[in-house]
Structure 1
């Protein structure tokens, strides 16, 4: 749930960025925020616990339902994220077109 909320907020944050340098810095900051929990885990968990967890084998489990639950879940979460991103990018594009038409009427480039 937290990852999905961070994804939605990150999409909105990156779409609202106008300069390429700021976009690069914001994406690096977002990647850092998304990886922060793994970094905290790597620092705080002792080496012995990490070794034991790495050596554990998964428990066998039978899944009685033949529906691809993981794929359906990813599609149900991913489709709205993509739709929101496209909507936000389209709004940003429309704003940029209006700004260009205001600053450069007739499509003439500013020299």
Structure 2
């Protein structure tokens, strides 16, 4: 069953360098054969934390995979959280149907 894995990388607080993003691009391309980074149109995320509205801009990273290796993705998410200095980075997967 194919999946689209999406990684929501923050850009405001962590201010990733081009080298950091290139590293993510290379890692995922080497492992999965391709990746898409939406870097020129970052999305805006808002959430409430202790009564204050927090804001972040995110880059969406997409990878299509045939199988979902949950332990690997969990480990990779933890690595990204350390690299981007974040409490949590969202990594989500949706089942896709190729048309």
TM-score (norm 2): 0.29
- Structure number with the higher helix fraction is 1
Larger radius of gyration: 1
TM-score (norm 1): 0.26
